[in-house]
């Protein structure tokens, strides 16, 4: 199998990685924000429940979660999820838990005095959050969010455990069929380029936010 053919095959697989990456971000970020609100809730049962779920998700391997989401519905409810859909569900739940902790840490790091000052000025709670707190939170969470997002693109290769036709599984199939090893290592180039682009993007965002030194 020549280099161009392998490249085209891996690109098809990488398309699945990119789609999984994009769908996970699209759903996990807002879900993570909702979960973070539950973790900070004054309603004790909700707070305990939310933090317990986050603890379980963060404390168990993503690979195990993929298998649970894909196999358990079929075993107990006779519901057969498509492999890619199961991967999306598992990734969204996993990363929403991690994002929620980043959001919670960023929000709780804002001094309470800023909220109090806003109330003194007659601002509503929503106005304080969007006009005073939000930009500060964004600056504080940019670096940790960047790290998690870069980790996400690499973690998409774990979808192969339930036989989603992503790039690494494609490379493994080529290696098995053609008895050549280099396509497996070639996959690293795709991840390096993608992660490099994300790194530059987040550096740019951090510089744009440097106007605020708080």
User: What is the rounded distance in angstroms from the CA atom of residue 174 to the CA atom of residue 185?
Assistant: 12
Alpha-helical (H) ranges within the chain are: 3-39, 44-59, 62-77, 83-108, 112-120, 125-128, 134-155, 167-178, 182-208
pTM: 0.91
The total domain count for the chain is: 1
Task: Evaluate whether 190 touches 167 at the Cβ level (below 8 Å).
Answer: yes
Contacts of 81 (CB under 8 A, 6+ apart): 69, 70, 73, 74, 89
Q: How far is CA 6 from the centre of its chain?
A: 29
Q: State the residue range of the domain holding 99.
A: 3-211
CATH number of residue 11's parent domain: 1.10.3720.10
Per-residue model confidence as pLDDT tens for the chain (214 residues): 789 999 999 999 999 999 999 999 999 999 999 999 999 999 999 999 999 999 999 999 999 999 999 999 988 888 899 999 999 999 999 999 999 999 999 988 888 887 788 888 888 877 887 777 877 888 889 999 999 999 999 999 999 999 999 999 999 999 999 889 999 999 999 999 999 999 999 999 888 877 655 4
């Amino acid at each position: 199998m020549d280099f161009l053919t392998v490249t085209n095959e891996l690109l098809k697989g990488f398309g699945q990685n990119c789609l999984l990456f994009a769908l996970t971000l699209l759903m996990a970020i807002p879900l993570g924000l909702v979960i973070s609100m539950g973790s900070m809730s004054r309603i004790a049962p909700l707070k305990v429940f939310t933090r317990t779920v986050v603890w379980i998700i963060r404390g168990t391997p993503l690979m195990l979660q993929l298998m649970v989401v894909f196999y358990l519905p079929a075993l107990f409810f006779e519901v057969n999820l498509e492999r890619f859909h199961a991967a999306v569900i598992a990734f969204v739940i996993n990363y929403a838990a991690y994002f929620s902790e980043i959001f919670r840490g960023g929000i709780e790091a804002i001094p309470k005095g800023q909220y109090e000052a806003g109330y003194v000025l007659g601002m509503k709670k929503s106005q304080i959050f969007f006009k005073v707190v939000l930009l500060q939170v964004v600056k504080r969470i940019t670096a940790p969010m960047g790290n998690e997002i870069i980790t996400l693109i690499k973690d998409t290769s774990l979808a192969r455990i339930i036989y989603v036709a992503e790039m690494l599984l494609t490379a493994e199939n080529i290696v098995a069929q053609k008895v050549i090893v280099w396509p497996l290592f070639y996959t690293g180039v795709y991840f390096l380029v993608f992660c490099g682009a994300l790194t530059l993007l987040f550096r740019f965002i951090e510089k744009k936010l440097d106007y605020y030194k708080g």
